[in-house]
Structure 1
Amino acid sequence: MKIIVIGKSGQLAWELAQLSTPEHEIVCFGRDDVNLEDVTALTNMLHLHNAAGVINASAYTAVDKAESDVENAFMLNAKAVGNLAQACKALAVPLVHVSTDFVFHGDKGSPYLPSDKINPLGVYGASKAQGEQLIADIYPERSAIIRTSWVYSTHGNNFVKTMLNLMASKPELGVISDQIGSPTYAKGLAETCIACLNNQVIGIHHYTDSGVASWFDLAVAIQNFGLELGLLDKRIAIKPITTAQYPTPAKRPHYSVMDKASLANALPEISLTHWQEQLKAMLTALKVEREAQLAFIN
C-alpha cells in the first residue's frame, strides 16, 4: 500500500514520512514536485505511483501574511485542494485533508462540533473553509476532513521551539493568555491521518490532543518541561498579556476548542492523550535529536 502525501517540508509531512514502512510506504511530494494548479498533472502523478490513499498536508499557513497575500493563500488552501479532490475522485482514491480551527469565529464558548457553522475571521481561515467546501462538493463519498489546531513538532518552525529559543535568550516574556485552544503534537496527528485512510473514515472530524490551554499556559509548561529535561538552564518570568496588547494583521479566534467525539466514534482505536503529556514526549524527542547532533559534530 502506497500513501501519497501532498506536502514535503512542513511539520505534518515530516511526521508522516517517519511512519513509512515496507508494507505502508509513504511518499511525500512538495510544490516543486507536482503542479497543484493542474488537475491532469495531479491525476497522472497519483496514477503513476499507484496511490492507495492521499493525505493533503500542504497548506498556506502564514496566517498574518495571508491578509496581504490573498491570491496565494486561496490558491494553495482552496483551488489546489479542489484540484486534488478531482484527481482523487477520477481514480477513486481515498483522500484525507487537514484543516484548521481558524474556520471558526471563536465566540461560541464551548467546544465546536464538526457540524457547527463556520465563520472565519481572516483570509487564512476563509481560504481553508473554501478548501473544505470544495472537497465536500467534489468528493464527499471517499474523503475525510480533519480539523486540528496549535500544531507543533520537533521538525520545522512552531510555537514550542520558538518559545524554547526565546526562553534561552530573553530575561522575560509576555505571552497571550486570552486565546484558548488545544495544542496538538504533529506525531499523533500523523498517526490519526493514517488511521483515517486505513479505516475509510469520511466526513468532517476534529483531532487535537485532549485538554485546554491558553498560549500562556502552553508557554509555562514548555519552560517547566524544558528545565526538567535540561533543554533550558534558567527560569525566566513569563507574564500573561491580552490579545489587544499584541496586535497582529490577522484576527484569531479567542476560543477554538473542538469536540472530538465523532472521530473517537469513527476510530475507537485512537486514544486521545493530554496535551501536557504529548508536549513532554515531543520535548524528550527534541532532546534526543539535539544530543545526537552534538555527538555527530564531536
Structure 2
Amino acid sequence: MTRYLITGAAGMLGQDLQRALAGREVTALTRQDLDVTDADAVRSAVAGHDVVINAAAYTAVDNAEADEDAAYAINATAVEHLAKAAAEAGAKLVHFSTDYVFQGNAQAPYAENEQRDPLNAYGRTKAAGEELALAAHPEGTFIVRTAWLYGAGGPNFAKTMVKLAENNPEITVVNDQLGQPTYTRDLAEQTVKLLDAQAPAGIYHGTNSGETTWFGFAREIFHLAGHDSERVKPTDSAAFVRPAARPAYSVLGHDAWRAAGIEPMRNWRDALEAAAEDGVLTSTW
C-alpha cells in the first residue's frame, strides 16, 4: 500500500488533500507537528513514506518584501530538505508552487517550461524552491504551480467577498490583473490523479481553466452567494498600492497534463459553482 505524507496539513489545501486521499494510508503533519526548516526532523518524518506532498508554505506575499529570509527558509530551504529526504527514501515529492515565479507581462498562457522571472520577494523564494527541489530529486519531483486559491478550509478571497457583501452596499475590486481562480478541492483531486496516473516527474500547472480578473471573480462570487453583482465596481491596481508588486497576467497553460494523458482541471466558473454547492461561499472560517 502506498504511504503518503502531507506537510502543511492544517492549511486550506492540506485539508482538501486529506479528503482527496481518504481511505489511504496518510500521515498528515501540521506546522506544529513538523518544522520543515529542520533537515533532521524532515528526514525522520519522510522515512517510510512513498509519496511526500508539501502543502507547507510561506504565503504572506507582502510580508516577504521585508522578511525575505523567513520566506526563503520555508519556500526554498525547506523544500530542498524535503526533496533530499524524498530522494533518500525513494519517495516521490509533490511541491506546490505559484504563478508568481513569472513576471506577469505575457499575453498568452505561460507554458510549464517558461523561464522563471519573478517580480517580488515571494516569487523569488518560490522560484528558488522549485530549482532546489528539481536539482536535489530530478527523477521524483513534481512541481505543481497554482494560483488564486480558495476553498472551505480557511480565509481566502471568496470568503472575504461574501463577508464584504453582507456589510457593504458597494465594493471596488481591481480589474487589471488576469488569472485563474482555483478551487482547492479540485487541486487536491487533480494531484491525486497525477500520482495515480504514474505521470512523469516535472512541472505541471494546477489551476482551473479559463481566465478572469479579480473583479470578474468577485462579481461571480456575489452572484452565486445570492447578492447583486452590480454592487461590485471595477478599479485598477494603482488604487490598491501594496508592498509587493502583483503580476498583471497570471494565466498558466496546461499542456503537461494532456501530455501525461490527464485532462486539465475544469473551468473556474464550473468550479466556483461547485464550491457554492459545497457551502464554501460563506463568510465564516
Give the TM bin, normalised by the shorter chain: over 0.9
- Looking at structure 2, the residues matched to 153 and 245 of structure 1 have their Cα atoms a distance apart, in angstroms, of 27
**Structure 2 equivalent of residue 296 of structure 1:** none
Q: Which amino acid aligns with 2:162?
A: L
Assess if the C-alpha contact under 8 Å between 1:60 and 1:76 holds in 2. Answer: yes
> In the alignment, what sits opposite 1:94?
92
TM-score by length of 1: 0.90
Letter in 2 for 1:272: M
Match of 2:137 in 1: 139
Instruction: Please give the alpha-carbon distance, in whole angstroms, between the structure 2 residues aligned to 1:125 and 1:176.
Output: 21
Residue segments in structure 1 that go unaligned for 5+ positions in a row: 294-298
Q: What is the DSSP-based 3-state SS (H/G/I as helix, E as strand, rest coil) of the residue aligned with 1:205?
A: strand
Q: 1:17 to 1:122 in 2, by over 3 A?
A: same
1:238-277 residue CA offsets vs partner (Å, 9 max, x unmatched): 1100001111111010001011011222142x35211111
Q: Secondary structure of 1:154's partner?
A: coil
Structure 1 residues 82 and 46: CA distance shift in structure 2, 3 A = same
Say yes or no: does 1:2 pair with 2:3.
yes
Query: Structure 2: any 5+ residue segments left out of the alignment?
Result: none
**3-state DSSP class of the match of 2:278?**
helix
1:204 aligns with 2:203: yes
Q: Verify: 1:256 aligned to 2:250, yes or no.
A: yes
Poorly superposed stretches of 4+, deviation over 6 Å? 287-290
Contact 2:94 2:144 in 1 (8 A): yes
- Superposed counterparts of 1:183-194, under 5 Å: 183-194=181-192
**Deviation string for 1:173-215 (max 9, x for gaps)?**
0000000011110011101222222224301111211111000
Q: For 2:272, which of 268, 279, 290 is the aligned residue?
A: 279
Matched, 1:57 2:55: yes
AA in 1 matched with 2:12: Q
Partner of 2:155: 157
Superposed counterparts of 1:16-95, under 5 Å: 16-22=17-23, 24-47=24-47, 50-95=48-93
Q: Give the match's secondary structure for 1:61.
A: coil
Counterpart among 106, 127, 130 of residue 129 in structure 1: 127
Distance apart, 1:107 and its partner CA = 0.7
Q: 1:152, 1:159 within 8 Å by CA — same for their partners in 2? A: yes
Structure-1 separation of matches of 2:214 and 2:101: 19
SS class of match (2:66): coil
CA distance in 2, matches of 1:237, 1:119: 36
Matches within 5 A, 1:231-246: 232=227, 237-246=231-240
